[in-house]
Chain A
């Protein structure tokens, strides 16, 4: 029976996909016993890499939120000529190969780059510093946040913003008291995804910031660097990332649900328009 065969084919495809996608993750944990993984994380190299990753990611994330939120609000609430073009520009790093991002950052901020002379005059040399890591992370991770933030702000009924204005609140107060709380779920989810993407950044960072242990060597770079000398450290960092990624995924799925139910109504069934 052909329809039965089709049904079986669907299940085989799904099983193959699940097996293929989970096997490498499982392998990380099966190669080395768990207590050994934890011990490896305490090694000098692993601790340094985690420290560099966290500090650069947190600084980059603060920049992404600080600039991305108002930019997304403007794009979501104002219609102007060239708006779609601007949105596309902001999304470009999503599809750009990380190596291209790295070479582009060098071409812009490198010593002989577009702004090299100006930066040099200020006594700034960005490549191969922690600032370079921060910029690389911002470049590749910000679109994840900005896209989610535009969608979150666009989902707000514009009349709520109008209502706030007619109630005497200026644009700033309307943003703080109405737009931000209502978009919080979407902003949280986008922020989580951008943070995860930034923490895993590899290609642009290694080209623009190098892989100097203790300075610019982030956790993903340390995994790559440890492959031939210290495979267990690489595995331990990999396993840490798996745990972190699972948490990120959970957070990205739960944050919007949680903020929605908390901010709109404690009774999920009361949300339908009763008369």
Chain B
């Protein structure tokens, strides 16, 4: 399987995008504020923007090498690009859109993405979720060696989003292509990619597994971006209109959100409290586990307890004399949770 290796510099208006990155098979999410250079990076990889210096290679093929004067045009780079808002050709039907790149096999792709019955429709008639599937099918029609997705969830409403997230996650996993996915939403990043890189003002600030970023954010920006836990589990309806989610550790938590099957329980770090004993309060959910890590963040501390990260004030951490390895109880209310389908 191919590996993407890049080391490049692209001058932007206020700063320059300077990045060295290696991505093998699997999805790497690029998260960060808008204007951080995320889209520019994708465009540079696709050959739509020319870096000032650097090198881009996929496997053995060099696509760009400023020193050697190599700069392949976009049509000669084996890349599948899903644009923000999808950029489907409005004057072509779904089938013609997908067949634009494929010499053959458009019909099979339509079938695979469940859009065969829309073959004759034009993009203007489709829903957001359908358009995303057409855009993915079109990008894959070229059998690319590198997949680039620019804010693939941004054009979807909240309802469609939750559903599409699960589909997209499964698709990206099955493809096994080196994939870069740009998003400004950490929840999307965590749900779709096993690895997340945070880009701020053209620089790579931190890279790691989503839970690592939540537990030990490198700076205040990453802390704000990753303000939420996403804990996987299996959901089933429970008494009182609640949903019970069995976590991988075996313990169960309750949510006021509805959901079934594989879900992620999303809880903001600041909605999780830490105590030595389960407090007799209204919170339904209590998880006992040893403290895995303590990461100070100015006047706050992020405390890793089992699968959860809690954010408490530095004063509280001191008052409780929290130390790594000691057993504590993390508590949160069922109403503070949201369920995100994972499948």
Contacts and interface: CB of A to CB of B under 8 A. Distances in A.
B90 A182 contact: yes
Interface string A233-255: 00000000000000000000000
Contact of A157 (B81, B87, B101): B87
A170 B124 contact: no
Contacts of B87: 157, 159-160, 162-163
A172 to B, nearest CB: 10
B332 interface: no
A274 B131 CA distance: 10
B127 A274 contact: yes
B81 A264 contact: no
A92 interface: no
B91 interface: yes
B81 A166 contact: yes
A164 interface: yes
Interface string B292-328: 0000000000000000000000000000000000000
B73 A265 contact: no
A162 B124 CA distance: 19
A163 B74 CA distance: 9
Contacts of A169: 75, 100-101
A167 B125 contact: no
B46 interface: yes
A115 B122 CA distance: 53
B184 interface: no
Contacts of B127: 274-275
Given A164-B100, A168-B142, A182-B91, A264 B122 contact: yes
B100 A275 contact: no
A270 interface: yes
B83 interface: yes
A181 B91 CA distance: 7
Given A166-B48, A169-B75, A274 B81 contact: no
A271 interface: yes
Interface in B201-231: none
Contacts, number: 84
Contacts of B270: none
A275 B90 contact: no
B75 A275 contact: no
A66 to B, nearest CB: 23
Given A162-B74, A165-B73, A166-B81, A178 B89 contact: yes
Contacts of A160: 87, 89-90
Nearest to B48: A162
A263 interface: yes
Interface in B82-131: 83-85, 87-91, 100-101, 122, 124-128
B55 interface: no
Nearest to A264: B90
Contact of B83 (A159, A267, A271, A274): A159
B83 A162 contact: yes
Task: Pick the most buried of B74, B155, B160: most chain A CB atoms within 10 A of its CB.
Answer: B74
Nearest to A266: B122
A274 B128 contact: yes
B120 to A, nearest CB: 10
Q: Which 3 A-B pairs have the closest CB atoms?
A: A167-B101, A265-B124, A165-B74
Given A163-B88, A170-B75, 11 more contacts: A160-B90, A162-B46, A164-B89, A165-B47, A166-B47, A167-B139, A168-B101, A168-B142, A169-B101, A274-B128, A275-B127
13 contacts: A159-B84, A164-B89, A165-B46, A165-B47, A165-B48, A165-B74, A165-B75, A166-B79, A168-B101, A169-B100, A263-B91, A265-B125, A270-B125
Interface of B: 43, 46-48, 73-75, 77, 79-81, 83-85, 87-91, 100-101, 122, 124-128, 138-139, 141-142, 155-157, 160
Interface of A: 157, 159-160, 162-170, 177-178, 181-182, 263-267, 270-271, 273-275
